[in-house]
């Protein structure tokens, strides 16, 4: 499918925010069941409902033609989708031809197997989620995971030449005491660290309020051990950054609850079915799968215009609310 007449027209919303970044979920499935992310028993999508790799590549071309410069593959766990290396290679061919960067967010369980392929395909940075470096706790938080392959995956990624950023969800009573040691560990290895507040997305068995940990408090504690200097770095994403003085790394904080991050939002999120969401915290969406199959590029472009025109100003997450802000789990849109 060739880009249509809208090609060259950037996707700019009514608040003047230009969409240059797409998070693309390639599957809602995962080999872990992190307690804050998923319910223990999840109903996953039938495979026939997923976009094919060719459809994803077509969609990527349409996005690129509309000014998208960065694509992040995510999930669920992106590396558990069958033959995902083929998709990474297909999208990697777009780097330098409109696409500036292809990245990936992963839980790391399969990373050792994929690290070299990712680098060969043009990926240069990966985010790896790691909430604990204690094997027992890691298993508890993920409900089933082994820590060793994840640590091995992180090493393999670094050896393959990938910059690794660690994502850690800060969980009161579960990993709070590991945050400062994690920052030290990351500093030794040259991995940036981003801490994330739990967000109320989708029903899970746990009461998220029990483990909710406000990151302003965490930062004050870290400052007793590390010198943190606010960084001017802005990515259009939810994180605010601090330089960790005396190290090569940055600390990022994603604070949807204690500090809304929406004003500079530059992103939209594609679920594995081709549903595209304007905001992580709202249901505003367009369905692109049928349009990709039967509608032609003009129809997809028009739907993207509708999505961006209606992109909400921001989320209104409240951790104490009785119900999640939206029904879908984070694993549908991949963060």
Residues at the interface with ligand SAM (CB under 6 A): 30, 36-37, 74-75, 77, 105-107, 129, 167, 169, 196, 198-199, 201, 330-331, 334-335
From residue 77 to residue 106, what is the string marking binding to ligand SF4 with x (rule CB under 6 A)? x-----------------------------
- If one asks whether residue 107 binds ligand SF4 (CB under 6 A), the answer comes out as yes
Nearer residue to ligand SF4 within complex by CB, 256 or 312: 256
Cβ at position 192, least distance to ligand SAM in Å:
13
Residue 50 binding result from ligand SAM, ligand SF4, none, given CB thresholds of 5 to 8 Å by partner type: none
| Paired tokens of 103 | 């990245």
- Within positions 52 to 81, which residues make up the interface with ligand SF4, using CB under 6 A? 75-77
Find out whether 202 and 324 touch, Cβ atoms under 8 Å: yes
Residue 127's SS3 state is strand
- Within positions 316 to 335, which residues make up the interface with ligand SF4, using CB under 6 A? 331
Nearer residue to ligand SAM within complex by CB, 61 or 77: 77
Cβ at position 199, least distance to ligand SAM in Å:
4
Cβ at position 96, least distance to ligand SF4 in Å:
29
User: Residue 305 — φ and ψ, nearest 5°?
Assistant: -60, -40
- If one asks whether residue 37 binds ligand SF4 (CB under 6 A), the answer comes out as yes
Answer for which of 22, 26, 38, 332 binds ligand SF4 (CB under 6 A) is: 38
Cβ at position 310, least distance to ligand SF4 in Å:
27
Cβ at position 185, least distance to ligand SF4 in Å:
20
Nearer residue to ligand SAM within complex by CB, 11 or 102: 102
DSSP 142-184: HSS--HHHHHHHHHHHHHHT-EEEEEEE-BTTTTGGGHHHHHH
Nearer residue to ligand SAM within complex by CB, 200 or 312: 200
Query: How many amino acids of this chain bind ligand SF4 (CB under 6 A)?
Result: 12
Cβ at position 201, least distance to ligand SAM in Å:
5
Cβ at position 77, least distance to ligand SF4 in Å:
5
Residue 228's SS3 state is strand
d(CA 103, CA 165): 11
Find out whether 1 and 296 touch, Cβ atoms under 8 Å: yes
Which residue do the tokens 């071309």 mark? 61
Residue 304 binding result from ligand SAM, ligand SF4, none, given CB thresholds of 5 to 8 Å by partner type: none
Residue 254's SS3 state is strand
Find the helix or strand (DSSP H, E) in which 241 lies: strand 239-244
Residue count of the chain, please give it: 335
Answer for which of 34, 168, 265, 308 binds ligand SF4 (CB under 6 A) is: 34
Find out whether 198 and 169 touch, Cβ atoms under 8 Å: yes
Q: How many CB atoms are located within 10 Å of the residue 232 CB?
A: 6
Short-list 190, 139, 141, CA closest to 169: 141
* 226 Cβ neighbours under 8 A, 6+ residues apart: 180, 183, 244, 245, 251
Nearer residue to ligand SF4 within complex by CB, 132 or 331: 331
What is the four-CA torsion angle of 159, 160, 165, 168, rounded to 10 degrees?
A: -70
Residue 59's SS3 state is helix
Cβ at position 203, least distance to ligand SF4 in Å:
14
Cβ at position 106, least distance to ligand SAM in Å:
5
Residue 106 binding result from ligand SF4, ligand SAM, none, given CB thresholds of 5 to 8 Å by partner type: ligand SAM
d(CA 126, CA 121): 13
HSE-up of residue 296 (Cα within 13 Å, Cβ side): 4
Which stretches of the chain bind ligand SF4, using CB under 6 A? 30, 32-34, 37-38, 75-77, 107, 129, 331
């Amino acid at each position: 499918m060739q880009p249509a007449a809208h090609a060259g027209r950037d996707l700019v919303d009514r608040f003047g925010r230009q969409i240059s970044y797409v998070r693309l979920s390639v599957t809602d499935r995962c080999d872990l069941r992190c307690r804050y992310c998923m319910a223990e028993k999840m109903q996953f999508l039938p495979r026939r409902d997923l976009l094919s790799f060719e459809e994803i590549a077509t969609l990527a071309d349409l996005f690129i033609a509309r000014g998208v410069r960065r694509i992040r593959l995510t999930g669920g766990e992106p590396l558990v989708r069958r033959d995902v290396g083929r998709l990474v290679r297909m999208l990697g061919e777009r780097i330098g031809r409109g696409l500036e960067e292809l990245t990936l967010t992963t839980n790391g369980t399969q990373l050792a197997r994929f690290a070299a392929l990712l680098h060969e395909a043009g990926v240069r940075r990966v985010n790896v989620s790691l909430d604990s470096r204690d094997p027992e706790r890691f298993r508890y938080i993920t409900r089933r995971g082994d820590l060793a392959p994840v640590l091995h995956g992180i090493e393999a990624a670094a050896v393959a030449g990938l910059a690794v950023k660690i994502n850690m969800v800060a969980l009161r009573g579960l990993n709070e005491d590991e945050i400062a040691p994690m920052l030290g560990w990351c500093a030794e290895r040259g991995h940036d660290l981003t801490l994330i507040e739990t967000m109320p997305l989708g029903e899970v068995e746990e009461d998220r309020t029990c483990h909710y940990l406000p990151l302003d408090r965490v930062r004050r504690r870290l400052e007793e051990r590390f010198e943190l200097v606010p960084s001017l770095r802005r990515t259009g994403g939810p994180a605010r950054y601090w330089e960790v003085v005396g190290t090569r790394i940055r600390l990022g904080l994603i604070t949807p609850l204690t500090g809304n991050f929406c004003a500079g939002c530059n992103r939209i999120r594609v679920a594995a079915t081709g549903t595209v969401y304007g905001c992580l915290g709202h249901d505003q969406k367009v369905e692109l799968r049928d349009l990709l199959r039967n509608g032609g590029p003009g129809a997809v472009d028009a739907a993207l215009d509708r999505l961006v025109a209606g992109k909400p100003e921001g989320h209104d997450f409240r951790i104490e609310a009785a119900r999640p802000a939206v029904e879908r789990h984070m694993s549908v849109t991949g963060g």
